[in-house]
Structure formats: C-alpha cells, structure tokens
Amino acid sequence: MHELLPLKEALDKNLPGQILLEGLNIRDGEGALHRQSSIGISGERFVSDESSAALRLNLRGWTLLPGLCDAHLHLFHEADRNCSVDLSGLSSRDELWKRLEEAEGDAPLLGMSWDESEWEDSRFPRREELDRRFPGREIALVRICGHAAVGSTAALQRCSLLDSESASGLLLERDAYAIRRVFAAGEERLLHEAGKLGAEMASEGITHLTEMGASRLHERVGSLPDDFPLEIDYYLPVSAGKELPEATHAPLPHRFLGYKFFLDGSLGARSAALRSEYREGGRGQLLWERDALRKRCDEIFRRGQGVSFHAIGDRAIDQALDILEDLSAPQASARIEHLEMANPKQMERIARLGVGACLQPNFMDRWGRPGGLYEQRFGKDFQSLFPAPGAFRKRGLQPAYGTDGMPRDLWAAMRAAVDPSLFGEEADHPAQALSAVSFDAARLVSADGERGSVRPGKSADFFLVAEDPLLQDFARSLSSAMTVRAGQVTHFHEGSS
C-alpha cells in the first residue's frame, strides 16, 4: 500500500496546485460508479479541470468512496458507555450478575447497554435483586435504548427517585436520563473517550456525524480538540416544561442545527407511543402535550432554526406531523428520527410536508429476526408493522441512515438495509445504501451542495479501501486505508506506508 504515501505527504504538506488521482474505482455517493476513473483535489475541494502542473498519482486497484456520515448518533452517550460497566452481548441474567460482580469495590457503579430481549429469561432486572446481591451499593443499570433504567435502593435515594412501593426500581424516560447523569463519568474522561471514538470512526471512513442530543452538548462540542477528525452537526435536546436551551454560535467546523424533541420512548422499554397495544399490554406514552409542543416549535421556526423529532411509534409520528402541518412548517426545517412503525399514509404526509427522514436499519438486524424483541412485543406477524427502506423511497423520500449506537457500526446499518431476509423486495440497493450515509445524510442537514458526494466543487471528503464494498453487499466492515476530510488526512493506516 506504499502508493498511498505520496498522497498523504502531498495532503499533509498542503502542496500548491492540484493533485490528480488516476485509475480509481470511484463510488460517488449519488449512485454512479466510474471504473478506472480520476478525480482532482485542490486544497479543500474536488476539482474537474486538469492542470498540466498537477501531481499525478496512479491509484489503480483502489476504491474511493465519499466520506460517510452517521446521521443519528449520541457521541457523548457512546463515550459515557465506554466509561461504564459494559453489559452488552450478555445471553442471560446470570451473566449480568457476574459482570457486575467483576466490578470490584463499593464505589457507585453505572452499568450500560443491557438488553433483556437477548436473554432466555427476558424480564427486566429489579431493584430488589440489586439490593439482595449488592447490599447498600449505589448501582444504576441503563438499558441499551437509554429510555429505561433500574436502580438499587441506595442509587434511587441518592437521586431522590425512590418509590418505597416499587420493588422493581424501574425508571423510564426523564427519570432514566436523570439517574444516568448522576452516575456519569467526569468531563475530562468523557472528552477523552469522545476523542478516541472520533479516531475509531475516522478509521471506518466516517467524516461527519449528526449528534442528536446530550446534556451540556454545546459546551462539550466546543471543548473537542482542534484536531478532532469529524465535523459535527448537532441538535440541543428540549425537555417538556423547560425553556429552550440557550443556543450560541457553534464552534467551527461544527454546526448547531436546532432542537430535538423526544415525543415518545422506545419499543424495548414499551414506552414508544402506539395506536394499538403491546402484547404485554399498554400503548406507551406521548411525552409532550400538544399545545406545549406546538408553542415550542413555533418559537423555533420563527428563529429560523430547525427541529428534530424522536418518534418511534405511529402515535408519536402522527403528533409530529400534525404539529408541522398546523404550523405550515418551512420545507426542510424538520426531520423525524427512527420512524420504526411509520405506515404508508404517514410516509406520504412526510413527503408532502418536505420533512426529512432518518432510519436505523441496524435496529431490524438486531431485533427484527425470529424470536427477537419485535416478535416479543408484537407477535410473529410483526414484520407487517415495520416499513423497509424501499417503502420510503417508493413514496418519494430519500432517507438517511444513522445507527443510534445500537451498535455504532455504519457498515452494519448498510449491510442490514440491503438484506432481503430483513426487508424483502423493498430492501435497498447497495448504491442507495451508500447514498443514505453520504449524499442523503448531507441533504438531511441541508449540506448536500457542500458535501456528501465525490463531485467537482464539493468538499474533498473521501476514504480509500482495497476492495469495492458495494460489490459484496457490505458483507463485512472495512477499515479505511486513508480517510480525508476537507483535503486533510484524518486517518492513515500504519501499514499503508
């Protein structure tokens, strides 16, 4: 891979004039493939006109793809997970207790990412179990979705969340976020872990992400080092009953886009707001009163800022669309996240209102297989409730993909999106899946004129791999040999030299 070293040196030195990359397979992010083609770079931009003085580099055999964007991620929540006891990947409740017992000492303990749907005994952990096994210890366990948590008596007392009549210790939504904040890692360690995550994502070909809400978010984004390898677009979360968080100018190159509203919870916590009932009973809950939500959104639109709605259940999707329709929201000023249970009429309304759509195909891969969470919640015919990516495209929408950190693997999201065993005939084609994490992700934040595809005039955001991942339907996650954002190298594999 020594042929990449001259390119790295030229970009590092910011040599004047053009660099011409020849002999490449180029995936442009908008559905086209140019075999053995070339692209020029001048400063921060792709260029088309070839200068006679251009530095010409033959990269025959390499595939060049646009820089990827995770269009829905909670970077600082991911960093928080890395600072806590990892409870992911467990197959039983007994493994959960063993993992907690391995955390020595008697200090407060935060465990994250348990998923009871993968256990044979798929009950949530309970407060009384924590108290019996770890008497007097402050322990908070946060479910993978973040919308549910369980605390020991000592932990609940510390957070003023103790309900003496509840043996379960179950916390939902705002209370789950509250206990997590109390037991979260300190700021210095959190920012250190965020930096490590940024480097990992750059090695995966990612150049941008959309941060979808965390506490102290504006301050944390502003505290990232100048050499942080990703550009971040972000939304500040809004809590019901509270004023809008103060928004100042975002620290370049990052951008503040607007405000995020959680309209409902999650399917795993049985708090996503549904028209029908879960198999276990209940229809979830809407977290905002209509009038309060309308007032907040109207205020935001009058400021010229955008809104993002977390809306998983069909009842929450209706609430978002009703508000946007009532306010005659400006085109491209709003987006809806997840849309796991959107029906055809709702998709048509989304298209008609000019609302952006962000999906997480990796959710279906994780929970939409036989015996998984979705079957547990809705029965064997669950698939009819969950639309495929192609169902959105059929109605004129170009959805972007994010991972929501479940798992934080954009390659897995693309792989799931094209999998007919998950989505049948309405699975995406590989070029569509790539567009969903490049051009369509840029369009979702109104940045498609600036980035998202390998086209002259666009920001030189790209990465190089030794094989074309689209030809094998993203069968495996690839590591980037070199990642470049705005003409600057953000990742270079040591073996490339």
- pLDDT beyond 70 at 495: no
* Helix segments in 122-261, DSSP class H: 127-133, 153-158, 174-183, 187-203, 217-223
pLDDT at residue number 103: 85
Average pLDDT, the chain: 93
Tell me the per-residue pLDDT of 132-188, one tens digit each, with 9 for 90 and over.
Answer: 999 999 999 999 999 999 999 999 999 888 875 567 889 999 899 889 888 888 899
Peptide bond into 125 cis (omega under 30): no
Give me the residue label for tokens 């964007």. 69
Q: Model's pTM, two decimal places?
A: 0.94
User: Would you say residue 497 has pLDDT above 50?
Assistant: no
Tokens (6 digits) for 70: 């995770």
- Residue 151 has a pLDDT of 94
pLDDT at 450 over 50: yes
Band (pLDDT 50/70/90 cuts) for residue 1 is: low
pLDDT digits (tens, 9 = 90+) for 196-233: 999 999 999 999 999 998 888 889 999 999 999 999 99
What is the rounded CA–CA span in Å between residue 26 and residue 75? Answer: 29
249 has a pLDDT exceeding 90: no
Lookup: tokens for 458: 């666009």
Percent of the chain surpassing pLDDT 90 = 82
Assess whether pLDDT exceeds 60 at residue 49: yes
What is the pLDDT at residue 164? 55
Residue 325 has pLDDT above 80, yes or no: yes
Reply yes or no: is the peptide bond before residue 407 cis, omega within 30 of 0.
yes
Residues 470/487, Cβ–Cβ less than 8 Å: no
pLDDT of residue 134: 93
| pLDDT band of 496, cuts 50, 70, 90 | very low
In whole angstroms, what is the distance from residue 490 CA to residue 11 CA?
11
C-alpha distance from residue 37 to each of 27, 33, 412, 463 (Å):
10, 9, 28, 15
Each residue's pLDDT tens digit, 276-310: 999 999 999 999 999 999 999 999 999 999 999 99
Strands, E assignment, 303-436: 306-311, 334-338, 356-359, 400-401
Torsion angles phi and psi, residue 283, rounded to 5: -125, 15
Per-residue pLDDT at 51:
73
**Contact (Cβ atoms closer than 8 angstroms) between residue 112 and residue 83:** no
pLDDT digits 0-9 by tens, 332-355: 899 999 999 999 999 999 999 999
